Chain A
Amino acid sequence: MSHTSRNARQRLLALSSRQHIEARWGALGALLGDFPPHRCVRGPETGMAMLKGRTGGTGNAFHLGEMTLTRASVALEDGTLGHGWVRGRDHRHAELIALADAVAQHPEWQQTLETQLLAPLAAELAERQRRDVATAAATRVDFFTLVRGE
């Protein structure tokens, strides 16, 4: 599965743990060779997102409550901008997402980013979700009807 769309990449990186991203990031830098230095042009900063629910799941929106949210925007030396957002308060996580966004805008780096970072993270995420499904499935009720006497 390719994560060339910004949207899919942002989602994958936000759902992956920072440790998993960081673990692959160092190797990625070496592969990219002249890995570009960057500076933060906004943040990383932590604030909140107000979350909306829907009445009855499908009806009018209402405000459920807030969650912590961290965002970062970085600029590479050539001026390429990257943005990242992630639930929680992990500044480095948001910065890494923003960096990946900036790096992905360079066609010559896209393939490396995909194979070295995004594809393995996608596999990890899929495995984690598969495990959750298998655990929940073990608690699924199989009904059987008892024969009742006349």
Chain B
Amino acid sequence: MYVAVKGGEQAIANAHRWLADRRRGDRDRPELEVAQIGDQLRLAVDRVMSEASLYDPELAALAFKQASGDLTEAVFLLRAYRTTLPRLAVSEPLDTASMRIERRISATYKDIPGGQILGPTYDYTHRLLDFLQLAGAEVPPAETRDDVTDAEACPQILALLNDEGLVEQEIDDGSEPADITRDPPDYPMDRAARLQMLARGDEGYLLALGYSTQRGYGRNHPFAGEIRLGQVEVEIHVAEWDETICVGEIALSECQMINQFGGSREAAPQFTRGYGLAFGHNERKTMAMALVDRALRAEELGEPIIGPAQQAEFVLAHADSVDAAGFVSHLKLPHYVDFQSELDLLRRLRREHARNSSPELGESLDRPSTEEETSARKLGQGKHDQESGVHGL
């Protein structure tokens, strides 16, 4: 229960002013531009877009700046802005096979058509702080191989295994997916709705859950079949022309996980799969998402549900950082009356406890309180001498 309280307007206004002042920082240094954030802190921007479930790098950068770099707050800001926009279209399913590749690796095959392309990665760095960046050293431009003018086709690696029937195939049965932004999630939930919830899920949370499956809480023996990052064109169908048109392109990360095989008398053994897809460069998130997606298929694949990552309602209902942060943060709202009633209840229970264990002391505690005591209690300060006596019993 919350109490309507008035007052504090000036304090709030001044607190926000201080916040803005802190955000701006030292006025002797130039203010951070939103374009700089989009340019130089792009992985943060990508994470904000992914968890806010809205692809707009400029707005995500603005949210990041406004939130002073607090990712969860930035996600909240962008998610809130999203609610002001009408939905104008629903895209055709994105064709990740036709991605303009920036990075593409496989941990299952060394030699793959199109090759292993490392892209702009933190892998293989030594994780040593680079003091040259502290000194503002010049950064050379990216190396190019100008003899390569056309991208070699990069087929999906799991399609290679598909040819042999070694891995389960993902075939479109034409079903219309649920949309959790329109219809409230209902459990049990099909895979399409689960993937939508995971795609907007908090990266840290998914990472921890994915990690838990590797440590044995619902193990599913994953291999990173393929990870690709790059640009994918977005197509929508427009009624005006009755045609499907391209409206631009977006950066995407995709992870295809190959997992332990199952089989039955009817079906020959084959690898199973987990899938991760996210806005921007979000490789770690897509890997975690693929692990959790696979874990959540336990029931469908007839596996025992023994780990937290396999429990769909638990995993999905707590994946959204806006939900989670909101409910935790609400504890900051005034709970004065709630807490007062808890205090009263606790005092009564302690009196009863004292009376039952020592009738004499119980009576002395039971005497009517003086006005002084009442006002002291309102401040949450009981009569310590007597109550500490009860502790001693």
Contact = CB atoms under 8 A, between A and B. Distances in A.
A and B touch in the complex (CB under 8 A): yes
A20 interface: no
A58 to B, nearest CB: 5
A139 B279 CA distance: 22
B49 to A, nearest CB: 8
A48 B53 CA distance: 11
A135 interface: yes
A55 B59 contact: no
Which of B50, B88, B115, B117 is the most central at the interface, judged by chain A CB atoms within 10 Å of its CB?
Answer: B88
Nearest to A51: B91
Interface in B75-107: 82, 85-94, 96-97, 100-103
B258 to A, nearest CB: 11
A133 B149 CA distance: 7
Interface in B233-289: 233-234, 236, 238, 240-241, 243-250, 254, 256, 273, 275, 277, 279
A52 B172 CA distance: 13
Contact of B277 (A45, A58, A64, A71): A64
Interface string A105-135: 0000000000000000000000001111111
Contacts of B171: 58-59
A50 B55 CA distance: 10
A133 B256 contact: no
Contacts of B126: none
Given A64-B277, A67-B54, A68-B54, A135 B234 contact: no
Contacts of B240: 73, 83
A69 interface: yes
A136 B101 contact: yes
Interface centre among A52, A66, A129 (most CB of B within 10 A): A66
Interface size class of B (residues with CB under 8 A): 35 or more
Given A65-B53, A132-B102, A137 B148 contact: yes
B215 interface: no
B193 interface: yes
Contacts of B54: 48, 65-68
B181 interface: yes
Contacts, number: 239
Interface in A42-101: 45-69, 71, 73, 83, 85-89
Given A48-B54, A83-B240, A87-B234, A134 B192 contact: no
A56 B170 contact: yes
Given A48-B82, A63-B179, A56 B192 contact: no
A132 B100 contact: yes
Nearest to A85: B247
Contact of B156 (A10, A58, A136): A58
A66 B82 CA distance: 9
* Interface core residue of A51, A54, A134 (most chain B CB under 10 Å): A51
B199 A65 contact: yes
20 contacts: A14-B245, A14-B247, A48-B82, A48-B85, A49-B90, A52-B177, A53-B94, A55-B170, A64-B199, A65-B50, A65-B53, A65-B196, A66-B55, A85-B236, A86-B247, A89-B56, A129-B100, A130-B149, A131-B144, A139-B117
Given A47-B89, A69-B247, A135-B144, 14 more contacts: A10-B247, A14-B246, A15-B249, A51-B234, A59-B172, A61-B177, A62-B191, A73-B240, A85-B89, A130-B149, A136-B102, A139-B120, A141-B115, A143-B116
